[in-house]
Copies of this chain bind each other. A is one copy, B any other.
Amino acid sequence: MPSVNESAPGTFSFPVRVYYEDTDTAGIVYYANYLRYLERGRTEWLRALGVAQLQLAEETGIVFAVRSLNIEYLKPARLDDALAVLTELTFCGRAQITLKQWIERGGEALVEATVRIACLNANTLKPAALPAGIRRKMGGT
């Protein structure tokens, strides 16, 4: 697995700091809060690609929705930790993408996830084709 510093081309890295709000009484980051970090990583990955989700929704009526998530909790993060959220596109279909995401501390993976995301028509919530321009930005062909 690539570390932050030697990330493979196509791997997007976004820094996250652990605050009190993220931890629980066990002294570690609460398990649901890693999903908040993952979503920040995806949003900033899209922003870096030039995809603004609000604008996308307004102009094309397309929204992204998480369909499924597999997540492995390997080691706990703690208060004040400086983490990196890594995001990599592994599949780009007509109306659906799959991302591999993981969270590192000092190059060590704490959490690994596979996230399947659907493109939906915001009104009908039915699957919608990913616009060709976005597919190109994502590196899908």
Chain A facing B: main interface SS: mixed
Partner of A73, one of B33, B67, B71, B79: B67
| Whole-angstrom distance between the Cβ of A8 and the nearest chain B Cβ | 24
A1 at the B interface (CB under 8 A): no
Q: Which of B27, B31, B72 meets A35, CB within 8 Å?
A: B31
Complex interface: chain B residues within 8 A of A80 (CB): 52-54
| Candidates B19, B52, B68; contact of A40 at CB < 8 Å | B19
Chain B CB within 8 A of A91 CB: no
Interface residues of A (CB under 8 A from B): 17, 19-21, 23-28, 30-33, 35-36, 39-40, 43, 52-54, 63, 65-73, 76, 78-80
Known: A21-B30, A21-B39. 7 other contacts (CB 8 A): A20-B24, A23-B25, A31-B66, A65-B73, A68-B72, A69-B73, A70-B70
